[in-house]
Amino acid sequence: MFKYLLIFLLPLNAFSQQSYIDYQSPYHPIINTRGMVASQNIESSNIGLEILNKGGNAIDAAVAVGFSLNITLPRAGALGGGGFMLVYIKERDEIFAIDYRSQSSLNADLKTIFEVDLPEDYERANFETVKYGYKASNIPGTVSGLLKVHKEFGKLPLSEVLKPVINQAREGIVVSYDLEKAIGSTPQLLNDLESKSIYFLNDEPLKEGSVMKRPDLAKTIQSISDNGLDGFYKGSIAQKFVEAMNSNNGFIDANDMKAYEARFTDPIGVNYRNNKVFTHGPPSGGGVVLLTALSLLEAYDLKKYKSNSTKTYHLLAEVLRRGHNNRSHQIGDPSFYDVPMKKILSKKRIKQLIKGMNLKSATSASKVKPLRVREEGKDTTHYSIIDEDGNAVSNTFTLGYSFGSGVTIPGTGILMNNQMNNFAYRYGDQTIEGRAASPGNQFKPGKRPMSTMAPTMVFDNQAQLTLITGSPGGSFIPDAILRVVTGVIDFGLNIGEATMLPRLHKDWPYAELEYESTISSDILSNLKKMGHDIEASKTMGSTQSIHIRNNINYGFSDLRRPNAGVAKQ
C-alpha cells in the first residue's frame, strides 16, 4: 500500500515545485554584468553598444547615442537644443553635472520678440511668437555639452565615436509607425520649407517602411568629427545658421555661436531611506521637484501602504503638488539669479510644505504657499548608460515641443529648439500666480530658461551606484522619476515593475490630479472622495533605467513609447 502511495504522490510533488519559467513579473529587465545602454530608440542603443564593444567607455557611448537620436528620434533628438547630464567616474568615485541648456541670444529683448512694451503691455503681446519659427530658438547647447564631456572623460577619439553615427545618417533609417504619426501630427514642420523637404514627400509624411536618409546631417556631424566644436559653432555650419537667422528675423548671430559654452556645475542631492539621490540643479527645476517630493515622503512609511494603494497615490499627489510649487518662483539660471537652493530644500522649508498634508484628504493649491525670498513640451528624450568599469551617464536633452520650433537650418539637417518658450515673460504681472510670473525665470538676453529635465543617479547605503534613470515628459518628468525611485527603494520592485507602475501628476497652482488609465477605477473613486479633482491623461514620460544590484545590471526601457530598447554587451 505504501509503495503505491509513494508513486502516486511523486507527480503531485513535482507539480508543486517552482518552475524557472513561472516568472514573478511580466516585465522582464535585460540582465548582464558588463556595459549596457537604455535609450528611447533601440537603433541608437545599438550604436552605443557598438562604441562599448570597440573599447569605448560610457561617456563615448553617450556621445554616440546623443548624436544618433537626431536620426532615429528627430522629434526629440537635440543637436539643435540642449539638456543636462550626470556623469559618474568610478575610478575617481565622483559625480559631475553638466549644464548644456540652450541659451537666449544677446540680440533678443522683449521689444524685438513681441513688438510691444513688456511688462507694461501684456494684453497685446503675442506669446505664440516664441513657440514656432525662428524667433522661438535659443542657441543650441547639445554639441558643446557632448563634446565637453568627451574631452574630459572620453576614451576613444571623437572620429571613432561619431563614425557609426555618420554612416547611419548617410544610409538612413526605416521610418517606423511612430515616426510617421509624429511627423503627421506636427503642423509646424509644414511651415518651414527645409523641414518639409526632409520629413514629407508630396505633402504627405514619410511613410512607415520607407527609408529616411539624412545627408545634410551626415555632413554636419562629419564637420564636428573633423573639427570639434569649431565644426559646429564656427566656420561654414555656423555661417549657415547666421544666414538663415538673418533671412527669417531670428536672433542668433556668429557671436552667439562662438560664445556658447556648456558648463560643469554641482549636482544636487538628498538622503532618502539611507540612499543618496542625485540630480541636476538649476536651471533645472525638475530636480528640485523630485528632491522636494522625496524629502516629504521621508516622513511617511510608504512601504506599508503598498505600491498601488489609494494612500500611496494620495501621498504621491500631495508631495508632487508641493514639489512643483517649490520650483515655481525661485528657480532660474544661476548666472543671472541667486537661486536660494539652501532654503528651497532646507528642513525648515520641508516642514513648511508638509504642514496641511493629511492622509485622508487633498490639499487645495491655495494652502501650498510658494517660497518668498524677494519681492513648459513633453518631447524630450533620456538615456542611461553604464560600462563594464562602472562609469555611468544619465542624460536628458530636448528640442522643447515635438520637432521643436519646426525650423531646420538649411544645409545642416539641424532641427531647432523652441526653448525661448520656456521663459517667464509675465514677470511682474500681479494677475498670474504660477510659473509664468516667476522672478527666477524671467527672460533676459543670454540667459538659460528653467527646465523640468532631471537626469538622476541613486547610490545605496554603501555608496555604490544602484540606479541610473531619467525621463522625457515636460512637467511629468519628476513625477515619472519619483514613481520609479520609490518603486525600487520603498517597494523593492524590479526595475521593470517599478517602471510600469501607474503614474500620476499633480502640479501647482492647477487643481487637477492627472492620472494614467492603468490606475484602477476603485482607487480613482477613493481619490475623488478625498477631494482630488481627477482628470484622465495620456501616458506620462518614458523612463530609461539601469538598476545595479550585486554588480549585476538590470536594464529596462519604458513601454509607454514605442521603439525604445536596452542594448547590452
**Helix, coil or strand: residue 465:** strand
Is residue 33 part of the annotated active site? The answer reads: no
- Cα separation, 138 vs 541, whole angstroms: 24
Query: 375 has which bridge partners?
Result: none
3-state helix vs strand vs coil in the chain, percent to 5: 40, 20, 40
Q: Kindly report which listed range (22-26, 243-247, 497-501, 562-566) carries the lowest average pLDDT score.
A: 22-26
Instruction: Give the mean pLDDT of 247-252.
Output: 96
Q: Which of the two residues, 433 and 229, has the higher pLDDT score?
A: 229
Domains of the chain: 36-264+382-437 (no CATH), 265-377+452-568 (3.60.20.40)
pLDDT above 90 (res 250): yes
Please name the residue that has the C-alpha cell 541667486: 338
- Cα separation, 302 vs 325, whole angstroms: 22
pLDDT above 50 (res 348): yes
Q: Which of the two residues, 399 and 19, has the higher pLDDT score?
A: 399
Closest CA to 218 of 261, 290, 269, 165: 165
Catalytic-labelled residue, pool 220, 292, 380, 396: 380
Instruction: Give the pLDDT score at 456.
Output: 98
pLDDT above 90 (res 366): no
Instruction: Give the pLDDT score at 437.
Output: 84
- Cα separation, 506 vs 479, whole angstroms: 8
Residue type at 456 in one-letter notation: T
Task: Quote the pTM value.
Answer: 0.94
pLDDT tens digits, 69-106 = 999 999 999 899 999 999 999 999 999 999 999 999 99
pLDDT-above-90 percentage for the chain: 83
User: In Å, what is the CA distance from 108 to each residue of 224, 251, 261, 424, 456?
Assistant: 27, 6, 18, 14, 33
Cis peptide upstream of residue 283 (ω within 30 degrees of 0):
yes
pLDDT tens digits, 480-535 = 999 999 999 999 999 999 999 999 999 988 889 999 999 999 999 999 999 999 99
Instruction: Give the pLDDT score at 372.
Output: 57
pLDDT above 60 (res 18): no
Judge whether 348 and 340 are in contact, CB under 8 Å.
no
pLDDT tens digits, 384-435 = 999 999 999 999 999 999 999 999 999 999 999 999 999 988 887 777 778 8
Instruction: Give the mean pLDDT of 187-216.
Output: 96
Name the band, by pLDDT with cuts 50, 70 and 90, for residue 10.
very low
pLDDT tens digits, 308-346 = 999 999 999 999 999 999 998 899 999 999 999 999 999
pLDDT-above-70 percentage for the chain: 95
Cβ within 8 Å of residue 112, ≥6 positions away: 251
- Cα separation, 338 vs 556, whole angstroms: 38
The average confidence (pLDDT) of the chain is 92
Residues in the chain: 569
pLDDT above 90 (res 39): yes
Name the band, by pLDDT with cuts 50, 70 and 90, for residue 2.
very low
Measured torsion, CA atoms of residues 515, 520, 524, 529, in degrees rounded to the nearest 10: -160
pLDDT tens digits, 521-562 = 999 999 999 999 999 999 999 999 999 999 999 999 999 999
pLDDT tens digits, 114-161 = 887 776 677 777 888 899 999 999 999 999 999 999 999 999 999 999
Instruction: Give the pLDDT score at 375.
Output: 38
How crowded is the C-beta side of 501, counted as CA atoms within 13 Å? Answer: 28
Element (H, E) at 305: none
Instruction: Give the pLDDT score at 370.
Output: 73
